[in-house]
């Protein structure tokens, strides 16, 4: 399927949980919490512990406000039992997941990718399409960081071509990624020369928005929804590199191992898997070797 950061209220401040005027009860009852945590574990592999209850409440209040619904329990009925729930479901998923991301996050992994590609093309002078998958791409910063790195390398290695896939379960995030539009704060990790080279202001009015504007590169990027907790992944290629960063941290242990196994099924022999800074595949008995912290090679 082709297709932000709302300021987080202090989750510990209970007064956030009620909206004056139309008092909303966003407290999640034990029964609703039980339902939510079971549902999210089963469907997406997400581990929602009791400690996350207040965080969940502070997130769902946004949808209660938009829809003018008075309680979480009413909201859940709307999402799961009403005829209009299907449309709301995408926003529900978006609210219960964390989307924090930024350009060139954990930059040493992009350097690692660069070095591998340079190493290859120094030895081999043949046309090759490098394939990269950003699994859990959120709003696209990882995808466009990869696109920039690979396109910069193309100038040096004319035999290099590339394809990038970005997938996520959050449709609003994917829609934002598909616009390729970022504000100046979201772009702050990018050097000025790269912003100038790859982005154009969205309008002449100073609205602070910039759109990724290289159509040739955009055609090499595909975005789509994919639940990593599903039994099989239908992706267009076998990948040279899979970036699945800051995603498995939200899964329970069994899901984490199962997801890594399925990702590896879609990684080429000798391909590389990149995880987030606090994630690890050590102890999973998978056919991988650790080349440096958070970077694994498929054996």
Ligand X SMILES: C[S@@+](CC[C@H](N)C(=O)[O-])C[C@H]1O[C@@H](n2cnc3c(N)ncnc32)[C@H](O)[C@@H]1O
Q: Tell me the closest approach of the beta carbon of residue 248 to ligand X, in angstroms.
A: 9
Q: Tell me the closest approach of the beta carbon of residue 113 to ligand X, in angstroms.
A: 14
Q: Tell me the closest approach of the beta carbon of residue 4 to ligand X, in angstroms.
A: 12
Residue 267 CB partners (closer than 8 Å, separation 6+): 238, 239, 240, 242, 273, 298
Q: Is 130 helix (H, G, I), strand (E, B) or coil?
A: strand
Contact 130, 165 (CB under 8 A): no
Q: Tell me the closest approach of the beta carbon of residue 174 to ligand X, in angstroms.
A: 9
Phi-psi region of 246 (alpha: psi -120 to 50; beta: other; left: phi over 0): left
Contact 225, 171 (CB under 8 A): yes
Pick 3 or 124: Cβ nearer ligand X: 3
Question: What's the CA gap between 17 and 58, in Å, rounded?
Answer: 6
Closest CA to 24 of 55, 56, 65: 65
Q: Tell me the closest approach of the beta carbon of residue 158 to ligand X, in angstroms.
A: 30
Pick 68 or 278: Cβ nearer ligand X: 278
Pick 160 or 165: Cβ nearer ligand X: 165
Pick 46 or 160: Cβ nearer ligand X: 46
For helices 171-179 and 85-96, what crossing angle results, to 10°?
80
Give the C-alpha distances (Å, rounded to integers) separating 195 from 5, 42, 179, 181, 192.
Answer: 21, 41, 16, 12, 5
Q: Tell me the closest approach of the beta carbon of residue 293 to ligand X, in angstroms.
A: 15
Question: What's the CA gap between 279 and 259, in Å, rounded?
Answer: 13
Q: Tell me the closest approach of the beta carbon of residue 247 to ligand X, in angstroms.
A: 4
Pick 172 or 201: Cβ nearer ligand X: 172
Lookup: tokens for 201: 């202001």
Q: Tell me the closest approach of the beta carbon of residue 125 to ligand X, in angstroms.
A: 33
Q: Is 288 helix (H, G, I), strand (E, B) or coil?
A: strand
Strand partners, 183: 209
Pick 228 or 281: Cβ nearer ligand X: 228
Pick 33 or 44: Cβ nearer ligand X: 44
Look up tokens 């030895």; give the residue: 123
Pick 180 or 276: Cβ nearer ligand X: 276
Tell me which residues touch ligand X (CB under 6 A): 44-45, 97-101, 105, 136-138, 142, 168-170, 173, 227-229, 245-247, 250, 276
């Amino acid at each position: 399927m082709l297709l932000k950061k709302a300021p987080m209220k202090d989750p510990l401040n209970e007064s956030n949980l009620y909206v004056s005027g139309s008092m909303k009860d966003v407290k999640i009852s034990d029964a609703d919490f039980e339902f939510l945590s079971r549902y999210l574990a089963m469907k997406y592999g997400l581990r929602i512990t009791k400690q996350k209850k207040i965080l969940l409440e502070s997130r769902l209040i946004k949808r209660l406000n938009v829809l003018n619904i008075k309680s979480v329990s009413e909201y859940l009925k709307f999402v799961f039992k009403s005829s209009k729930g299907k449309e709301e479901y995408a926003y529900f998923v978006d609210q219960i997941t964390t989307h924090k991301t930024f350009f060139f996050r954990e930059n040493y992994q992009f350097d690692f990718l660069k070095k591998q590609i340079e190493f290859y093309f120094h030895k081999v002078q043949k046309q090759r399409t490098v394939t990269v998958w950003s699994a859990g791409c959120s709003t696209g910063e990882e995808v466009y960081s990869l696109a920039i790195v690979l396109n910069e390398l193309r100038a040096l290695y004319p035999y290099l071509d590339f394809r990038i896939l970005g997938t996520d379960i959050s449709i609003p995030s994917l829609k934002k990624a598909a616009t390729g539009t970022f504000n100046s704060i979201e772009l702050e990790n990018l050097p000025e020369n790269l912003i100038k080279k790859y982005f154009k202001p969205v309008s002449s009015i100073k609205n602070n928005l910039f759109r990724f504007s290289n159509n040739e590169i955009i055609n090499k990027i595909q975005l789509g929804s994919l639940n990593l907790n599903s039994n099989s992944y239908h992706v267009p290629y076998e990948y040279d590199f899979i970036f699945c960063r800051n995603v498995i941290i939200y899964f329970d242990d069994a899901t984490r191992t199962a997801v890594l196994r399925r990702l590896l099924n879609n990684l080429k022999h000798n391909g590389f898997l990149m995880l987030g800074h606090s994630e690890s595949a050590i102890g999973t008995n998978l056919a991988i070797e650790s080349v440096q912290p958070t970077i694994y090679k498929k054996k």
